[in-house]
């Protein structure tokens, strides 16, 4: 499914960039893209994907820092520890993928 979506997005971008249909057709495509982006199902799927990405990134971060932390220079180890402490306190969260609407 991901590859199909990537193909469709690439096809649409190529059409927009390569079209000679003029400004009117461009505005139609822009309006359609905006409608798709504002669709609640699309927004929910994007937010879910972002949330899962953050979870996997967090797991990878901890796995790598636990395994490589002792072999790194002390300046890097200190930075990794400060990031880990900040994220474990709950203040290091971000708002990627969250909706303000």
- Give the pLDDT confidence of 23-41 residue by residue, as tens digits: 787 788 899 999 998 999 9
CB environment 7-36: b (16+ within 10 A), e (fewer): eeeeeeeeeeeeeeeeeeeeeebeeeeeee
Q: What is the pLDDT of residue 6?
A: 87
Q: What is the pLDDT of residue 64?
A: 80
% of the chain surpassing 90 pLDDT: 18
Q: Left, alpha or beta for 66 (phi > 0: left; psi -120 to 50: alpha)?
A: alpha
In the chain, which residues have pLDDT < 50? Answer: 91-92
Q: What is the pLDDT of residue 99?
A: 54
Q: What is the pLDDT of residue 51?
A: 92
């Amino acid at each position: 499914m991901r590859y199909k979506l990537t193909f469709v997005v690439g096809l649409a971008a190529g059409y927009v960039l390569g079209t000679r249909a003029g400004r009117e057709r461009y505005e139609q495509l822009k309006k359609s893209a905006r409608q798709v982006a504002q669709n609640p199902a699309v927004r929910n799927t994007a937010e879910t994907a972002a949330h899962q990405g953050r979870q996997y990134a967090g797991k990878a971060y901890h796995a790598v820092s636990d395994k490589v932390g002792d072999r790194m220079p002390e300046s890097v180890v200190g930075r990794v520890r400060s990031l880990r402490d900040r994220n474990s306190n709950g203040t290091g969260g971000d708002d990627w993928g969250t909706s303000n609407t």
